[in-house]
A and B are shown apart, each in its own frame.
Chain A
């Protein structure tokens, strides 16, 4: 790595104006992260032209700080209103929102921000130590390996069971159907559009999630008589300190989340599956899996740690390989080229000041970020004290702006309302939403990787088993997939047939 390189980086990152740029970036990013739909990618794209007059290092610090801010901010609306600001915050809603409803919004926010910081720090340290080596590992991942990872995400999550398996199946299939609407990248043909040009662009995941979770929740709350128990939240500035005292007990979840997040993140599209996978593993290894989905703080720690670790790791392929690990990184990549830098393996040699300045700013940016958002925890939590009748129109407006801003198109607002109704109906009929969301966000990626692999192998499924990396991941995925059946069988063998009451847990 070169310790002197990192020192050089810190000399750049700690210059007063670069620190100031980081503060501005994080503040803007947090706001952008709060608005669902606006997202880090759009925020970075909007600011990009402004960076032309800056030196490249300050410019990238501004944009990456905005990205860290968005990563922190995404958790705020997930916890307070059940509206994920970013796709990787979906899993945060499962336990964060129930906590907020119980009046523990402050604790949930503190846990989310702290976990984000821990995950980020873990990834930055690994990047500092092993960046060029990790780039080589990333190159080993072709389509079969990507598909194996998607399979592992599905099976780790679906294997959790709980609830009615038929209902889970219906939910996941509906998600796959929705994911396949639009242009098929492999054949270039339009699918399920029925000649309607508006359907051509498919259903954006963010629009679906805003509707399913945000609007669906509001419909449900309205039916329950406009009461929102979050209003009773105790606002105590010491909430941060008190939550911190309880967090070290989840060190295993932190470590696991960081590792999953980093490992998934340095390959494209990693943060969202990482957050789901981390949540699933936390529940699986917990002593109290039944508490998950009802407001367990560990259910906030797990996805947030993984999401932020993955978000930071996504920068790595951008600077070492010239491929973006996330949509936000894709826009930054365009920025690099415009600033006159060529992303890719030569960047470390040609512009060490830029690369190491960027890496050092990941440390400073995340430290500044976590301090800033933690200071505001009591204020964020206080939002819930606003009477529901006043808050609801505001939330609906924010949701609509978010849905609109994804593609700047009105149709997405109608989709959002449609998904809101689906979300409401699902809750009323006790169908789980999580499998649908998982299928919608990963269905597209998994399908592409599967079909690319099968084209490469000319139709043989063996391609997933006879390549070492994908073979190993596929084996683990199959193990988790069949785990519920295996443990059920073992229980049957050990004990006399008992009534199948061994599913106290509730699908999130």
Chain B
């Protein structure tokens, strides 16, 4: 049937009305092309794992109308990734997962970048730190170990990930509070750090739980203390004392696992990502991941998140000033 004039007029009216509709009324923003999820770290690490988990959960539960493309930009201790996202002002299809290098990299290298350049979306989790020694050593408590470190007069080796990053910060805090000295040996990744402990090439580490858990279960390493104000509640971990219980010192450090958007990301897009990430956060897979790695579930958005970030940045500035790690 050929369209009559009446049909055509009706069609034009309908199209005009459709075009005149207010563009996507509240929170109706949806991604219209693939979302790029940037990781300012290498493949295989903690941030990488979480980013790929998010992409996988989104795929499995069909949480996003467009796929999520995970991209590693690890150069310059993550600065490559941060500068890349900083340069995509207003882009609604690029997000970044962050770790502590969000604060430490600009402070130590002087790269022109701050978290304030980005749009905070949400905090997903906080990662714990534990003091580990090799299981063959006689040290059963942090007290015994630190006494030995003191006695050996600065010849005990502490291994950690990277330089002037979270592991070294904790090491310096420990040194300053206990009046001891370690030889700090930096490695490229947490897995490598723990294996060097198992192989007895170093004396202790401050690995994240997930990096050492398997070697612990195999009886090769021993956890001495958690660097947090409370014990880890999961059944496997609850017997490990806090650092305060162990040596009476307040050395608490948690690492951010959060998501940020591009500078000036549209408000509707931020809301969509928050809704999307909440669904990921509530999925059984994500819960299981947090519990297995002893990560602290820490959902936080909006102005609470921003003020937490301000506090965290100040904390890093203080810690790094105390440790002499700021860019000179």
Contacts and interface: CB of A to CB of B under 8 A. Distances in A.
B9 interface: no
B192 A45 contact: no
A188 B163 contact: yes
Contacts, number: 160
Interface in A47-73: 48-53
A185 B218 contact: no
A491 B76 CA distance: 51
Interface stretch (A115-123, A326-334, A427-435): A326-334
Interface in B217-266: 217-218, 220
Nearest to B80: A201
B52 A182 contact: no
B192 A323 contact: yes
Specify which of B74, B75, B187, B213 lies most central, judged by the most chain A CB atoms within 10 Å of its CB.
Answer: B75
Given A333-B44, A344-B214, A345-B215, A200 B76 contact: yes
A138 to B, nearest CB: 8
Specify which of A41, A49, A343, A407 lies most central, judged by the most chain B CB atoms within 10 Å of its CB.
Answer: A49
Nearest to B219: A345
Nearest to B73: A407
Contacts of A200: 75-76, 79-80, 111
A347 B215 CA distance: 11
Interface of A: 41, 45, 48-53, 139-143, 182-190, 197, 200-202, 268, 321-324, 327, 330-331, 333-335, 337-338, 340, 342-347, 407-409, 448, 452, 455-456, 458
Contacts of B74: 201
A52 B188 CA distance: 28
A197 B43 contact: no
Interface string B56-79: 111110000001101111111101
Given A143-B201, A342-B213, A408-B71, A330 B42 contact: yes
B130 to A, nearest CB: 16
B316 to A, nearest CB: 14
Given A141-B199, A321-B195, A340-B288, A201 B75 contact: yes
Specify which of B83, B162, B196, B202 lies most central, judged by the most chain A CB atoms within 10 Å of its CB.
Answer: B196
Given A139-B199, A324-B191, A337-B289, A188 B214 contact: no
B162 A323 contact: no
A350 B84 CA distance: 42
Contacts of A41: 43
A183 B76 contact: yes
A333 B192 CA distance: 13
26 contacts: A41-B43, A49-B58, A183-B109, A185-B163, A187-B164, A188-B77, A190-B76, A201-B73, A321-B195, A322-B215, A323-B192, A331-B44, A334-B44, A334-B48, A334-B49, A335-B52, A337-B49, A337-B289, A338-B53, A338-B56, A342-B213, A344-B215, A344-B217, A345-B218, A452-B185, A456-B202
Contacts of A140: 199
B59 A52 contact: yes
A179 to B, nearest CB: 14
Given A185-B186, A197-B83, A407-B73, 9 more contacts: A45-B43, A52-B60, A139-B199, A142-B201, A185-B162, A190-B109, A201-B80, A323-B191, A345-B215
A407 B79 CA distance: 13
A456 B192 contact: no
Contact of B77 (A183, A342, A344): A183
Nearest to B79: A200
Nearest to B214: A344
